[in-house]
Structure 1
């Protein structure tokens, strides 16, 4: 499949979170000039499921409603709706093979309401072959959305995540804030260490800034836990981007991704690194 055939794909299950994700995905598809695919997975044997996880309404009704709402809000957007009979996780990971971007609500209609991020969303973010955006359960706060944020370890930079973030900042017309958190061993004074970290980050970003002259890049080094620093940065972010290493094939998210997915105040993009 050529890159021109790729879609923005969103998973829906009838929950308010998934319907909000469909609207977010539609706006993203328009920005990317891509068609939108709305996917609803139906269990193979729904009668064996616990009552709280069974579909609340027929799939056809749900997809018809979503298509109607999107047609009203985004009449110029090509929308395709599909239902598949498979486990939700399997269906969405497979859909990622033909997608430029997967979009999900952080928690759907099943599971435990007190959880901010559901197991389905975590599973897909850890395994999808394309970037996956999870939308927080709560509506973003009143803070202005001033920039796109990407977490970057300057010693081992996640290049796919950085590239994704630069393109997102360009599409949104916002600055990109590159956050390098967690200083190295304290073999020198704090001030000198911070200076060294900033110099390292500047060297890593120099070729990227040259390749994307239209994007304002703000370099930010900070002491402390990378996850917590990124959560704080998310308060004024339109999008927070983190990388995901895939070499070990474990399908397990790292601690930074886990932290931001559970606590960030904005949508989070998890971008797989080859």
Structure 2
């Protein structure tokens, strides 16, 4: 498939979180000049599902409602709705093969209400072949959204995540905060570790700043827990970007990604690395 044919795809299940995700995805599709695909997955054998996860209204009604709302709010965005009969995780991971971006509510209509991120969202973020954005169930907090944030290990920079973050900052017209955090430094060497990390980060960012001279870049090096630093940074972020490295297992999200996905105060993009 040509890159010009790629879509922004959003999964919906009728929950408030998924409807908010559809609205966010439509705005992103407009920025990217991409069509929006709204996907609803129906289980193959719904009678085997627990009662709390069964569909409560016809799929056609749901997709018609979503399409109508999007047409009113985002009339410039071409919208396509699709119903597939498959497990939600399988359907959305497969949809990611034809998508430039996959968008989900962090938690859907099933599962435990006290969880901020559901197992379905985690499964897809760990396996999708394209960048996946998870929207927090509570929506963004009251802080102004004045930057895009990307978490980076300057010793092993995630190239795809950096490119995604620079493009997002440019399209939103926001500065990019690049965070390198390392809690491995001993207390006595914290300043030395911060200076060394800052020098390394500057070297990593230099070619990117030449490629994207219109993006204001702020580099931040911290001798602290990466998860904590990124969660704190999310309070003023329009979007927080993380790289997902291939591991020994088929799919894996590390502890930093888990911490950020469960506690961030803004949408989080998980970008797979080659």
Same fold (TM over 0.5): yes
TM-score, with length taken from structure 2: 0.98
Q: How many residues align?
A: 274
Deviation, structure 1 residue 140: 1.1
Partner of 1:115: 115
Instruction: Give 5+ residue unaligned stretches, structure 2.
Output: none
Partner of 2:192: 192
Would the aligned equivalents of 2:89 and 2:124 in 1 still touch at CA under 8 Å?
Answer: yes
Partner SS, residue 150 of structure 1 = strand
Q: Distance in 2 between matches of 1:140 and 1:184?
A: 31
Instruction: Give 5+ residue unaligned stretches, structure 1.
Output: none
Deviation, structure 1 residue 255: 0.6
Q: Distance in 2 between matches of 1:175 and 1:194?
A: 22
Would the aligned equivalents of 1:238 and 1:267 in 2 still touch at CA under 8 Å?
Answer: yes
Q: Distance in 1 between matches of 2:197 and 2:153?
A: 10
Partner of 2:238: 238
Q: Distance in 2 between matches of 1:61 and 1:164?
A: 35
Partner of 1:223: 223
Runs of 4 or more consecutive aligned structure 1 residues displaced over 3 Å after TM superposition: 183-189
Structure 2 CA distance for partners of 1:75 and 1:187, relative to 1, 3 Å: closer
TM-score, with length taken from structure 1: 0.98
CA RMSD of aligned residues (A): 1.1
Partner SS, residue 29 of structure 2 = helix
Partner of 1:257: 257
Partner SS, residue 37 of structure 2 = strand
* Structure 1 residues 138-180: Cα deviation after superposition (integer angstroms, max 9, x where no partner): 1211110110000000001111001000000000000000000
Q: Distance in 2 between matches of 1:77 and 1:121?
A: 25
Would the aligned equivalents of 2:179 and 2:230 in 1 still touch at CA under 8 Å?
Answer: yes
Q: Distance in 1 between matches of 2:95 and 2:186?
A: 46
* Structure 1 residues 192-240: Cα deviation after superposition (integer angstroms, max 9, x where no partner): 2211111111011111111110000100001111011000000000000
Partner SS, residue 174 of structure 1 = coil
Q: Distance in 1 between matches of 2:62 and 2:212?
A: 41
Partner of 1:104: 104
Matched, 1:3 2:8: no
Aligned 1:1-274 pairs, distance under 5 A: 1-182=1-182, 184-186=184-186, 189-274=189-274
Q: Distance in 1 between matches of 2:105 and 2:187?
A: 43
Deviation, structure 1 residue 184: 4.8
Could you tell which deviates more after superposition, 122-131 or 138-147? 138-147
Q: Distance in 2 between matches of 1:43 and 1:190?
A: 52
